[in-house]
Amino acid sequence: MEKTTCIIVGAGPAGSACALSLARKGIETVLLERGRTPGEKNVSSFVLFIKELKRLVPECMDELELERNIVRSDQIILSDDDVKTITSFNYKHIRNPVTFSAFRRKFDAWFAKKASMAGAELITGMTVTDLIIDNGRVIGVKVGDEELYADVVVGADGYHSKVAERSGLNPVLDPGQCLLSVKEVLNLPAEVINDRFQLTDGLGAELGLWNYDVNNFKSGTGTLYTNTDSISIAAFASVADLKNKNMKLHAYLEKFKQHPYINALIKDGTLREYQAHILSNGGRIAPEKLYGDGVLLCGEAGAIMDTMSGMGVPTCIVSGMMAAETIEMAVKKRDFSAGTLKNYLKYLDSTSLLDMVYESSKVGEYWDGAGKDEMPDDIKAVADCYNKWWDVDYMSKDYYPLMANLFFKIGKHFMPKILRWPLGAAIKITSLYSKTCEKIKSKIRSRYYEWKKQYDG
C-alpha cells in the first residue's frame, strides 16, 4: 500500500501554493493534476495579481512569462445608446508591478514546476474519480482503479470539486451560486493594441464592462484586457439567471462585441481561442465545511473566491498557503482529525481572506435581486474604489471598510431607492469611523463575527 503524508488534488494556484509551502517544510507531498500539463484546463478571466505570490516566490518576476503590465483600468457603464467611462491609472504599478495579463497555461505550469522543484511529487493526467473513506475519515483517493493513500487529502480541484462532493463537505452544487463565463482571445498586432488603447510596449489596459442590458439580464457583466498581441474579452452571468431568462451566454458576449464602443477596440481581431469556465459566486460554503477528518478544501473547491473583484488567483494562493500551515501543525501533532484541521480557520482568519470573500458573496446576492436600468452618475466614485481595490492585500486585514464601500457603490444601483440613502449613510459613517476608531471598527464587523461564532462556539 502506497502511502504519503499529503495528497493535493489539482495543480492550480491553490494546489501549487500548498504543495510548494509543504515541500519547503519538508513534508512528503503528492500533487495530482488531471490535465496533461498543469494549466491547460484553466481559464483566466481577469488581470492576474501577484502581490501574494511575490511573498511566496520572491523571484517570480524574473521567471514568469507574463504578457502586459496592466497600468490602466477603465470602468465602463454601457447602455444601447450611451457609454459612460471612467479611467483610472495605476502607474505606481510600473515601479512595483503586481498586475499583469497572463495565460494560465504558462502560469500554472510554472507554478506547479516550482512546487515540484521544491520537492513535491507532481503527477499529471490523473483524474481523481473518488475518495477512499474509512469510518467517515478520508484516507486516500482513487484514480480509476489505482488507489493512493495519505494522512490528509487537500481538495484544490476547482468548482466541480470531487473532494468536496465525496467527502460530504459540499455534496450538492447550487446553480444560483455560480457564474458561468465565456471568453474569446482575439489576435491583434501589438502596435494596433498600443494605438487603440494608448499604450506603449509592455503596458496594458483592463476594461470592466457593467450594466449592459440590465433590464433583461441582471447578473451579466464583462471584462476586456490586453495581452501582448491579443485581446481577451469575457462575459459572465449566474447560471440561474441564464436559465430564468433563457439567455445564451455566448450570445451575450456577441452583444458586447457588437457594441459600437467595444467594436472599435476589437475590430479586425481574429479568434485565437474560444473558452468557457465556471466559478463560484464566492463565500457560499460555510467555514465549518472547509475541513473534515483527513481533508481540507482550498481555493475554488471551498468557494474561497472574491467574485466582486474578480480575484481568484490571489485568494487561492493564500488559502493554499494557510492549508500548508495547518498541515504542518497536524504533522507535528501526528493528528489529522477534524479537531486539529479546524485550525485552518484560525490561519485563514489571520488574513483578510474570509472577510473579503464573505463581503463579496453578499454582493452576489444583489445581482440576483432587483435590477434597474440606470446610468449611475457617480461612477467616478465607483472607479475610485476600484483604484483602491487594486491595492488590496489578502495577507493583511486593513481593507474591510473599503470593500463595504465598494459593495454599496455598485450594489445601490440594483436596490430599491428607499433603501439607498439609509444604507449609504450607514456604510459611509461606519467606514469613516472605522478608519480612526478601532472600537467602532469591531462593531461593523459584528455581523461577520456572529457568523463566525458558528465554528468558534
**Residue closer to another protein, measured from CB, 39 or 283:** 39
> Minimal distance in Å, beta carbon 58 to another protein?
26
> Minimal distance in Å, beta carbon 191 to another protein?
17
**Residue closer to another protein, measured from CB, 266 or 321:** 266
Among 271, 286, 375, 426, binds another protein (CB under 8 A): 271
Q: How many residues bind another protein (CB under 8 A)?
A: 55
> Minimal distance in Å, beta carbon 37 to another protein?
8
**Residue closer to another protein, measured from CB, 272 or 397:** 272
Q: Please tell me whether residue 43 binds another protein under the rule CB under 8 A.
A: yes
Q: Please tell me whether residue 239 binds another protein under the rule CB under 8 A.
A: yes
Q: Please tell me whether residue 423 binds another protein under the rule CB under 8 A.
A: no
Q: Please tell me whether residue 125 binds another protein under the rule CB under 8 A.
A: yes
- Mapping DSSP onto H, E and C, the string for the chain reads CCEEEEEEECCCHHHHHHHHHHHHCCCCEEEECCCCCCCCCCCCCCCEECHHHHHHCCCHHHHCCCCCEEEEEEEEEEECCEEEEEEEECCHHHHCCCEECCCHHHHHHHHHHHHHHHCCEEECCCCCCEEEEECCEEEEEEECCEEEEEEEEEECCCCCCHHHHHCCCCCCCCHHHEEEEEEEEEECCHHHHHHHHCCCCCEEEEEEEECCCCCCCCCCEEEEEECCCEEEEEEEEEHHHHHHHCCCHHHHHHHHHHCHHHHHHHCCCEEEEEEEEEEECCCCCCHHHCEECCEEECHHHHCCCECCCCECHHHHHHHHHHHHHHHHHHHHHCCCCHHHHCHHHHHHHCCCHHHHHHHHHHHHHHHHCCCCCCCCCCHHHHHHHHHHHCCCCCCCCCCHHHHHHHHHHHHHHHCCHHHHHHHHHHHHHHHHHHHHCHHHHHHHCHHHHHHHHHHHC
**Residue closer to another protein, measured from CB, 178 or 353:** 178
**Residue closer to another protein, measured from CB, 175 or 339:** 175
Among 151, 184, 213, 359, binds another protein (CB under 8 A): 184
> Minimal distance in Å, beta carbon 28 to another protein?
24
Q: Please tell me whether residue 35 binds another protein under the rule CB under 8 A.
A: yes
**Residue closer to another protein, measured from CB, 136 or 175:** 175
Q: Please tell me whether residue 272 binds another protein under the rule CB under 8 A.
A: yes
**Residue closer to another protein, measured from CB, 134 or 273:** 273
> Minimal distance in Å, beta carbon 101 to another protein?
11
Q: Please tell me whether residue 75 binds another protein under the rule CB under 8 A.
A: no
Q: Please tell me whether residue 130 binds another protein under the rule CB under 8 A.
A: no
Considering only residues 164 through 183, tell me which ones interact with another protein, judged by CB under 8 A: 173-175, 178, 180, 182
- Give the separation between CA 420 and CA 442, rounded to whole angstroms: 24
Q: Please tell me whether residue 122 binds another protein under the rule CB under 8 A.
A: no
Q: Please tell me whether residue 127 binds another protein under the rule CB under 8 A.
A: yes
Q: Please tell me whether residue 228 binds another protein under the rule CB under 8 A.
A: no
CB neighbour list of residue 52: distance below 8 Å, 6 or more residues apart: 314, 317, 318, 321, 393, 394, 395
Which cell numbers hold the place of 432? 469613516
- Give the separation between CA 261 and CA 276, rounded to whole angstroms: 24
Considering only residues 245 through 264, tell me which ones interact with another protein, judged by CB under 8 A: 246-250, 254, 257-258
**Residue closer to another protein, measured from CB, 94 or 276:** 276
Among 65, 92, 94, 160, binds another protein (CB under 8 A): 160
Site residues (CB under 8 A) for another protein? 34-36, 39-44, 103-105, 124-127, 129, 143-144, 159-160, 162, 173-175, 178, 180, 182, 184-185, 187, 227, 230, 239, 242-243, 246-250, 254, 257-258, 268-278
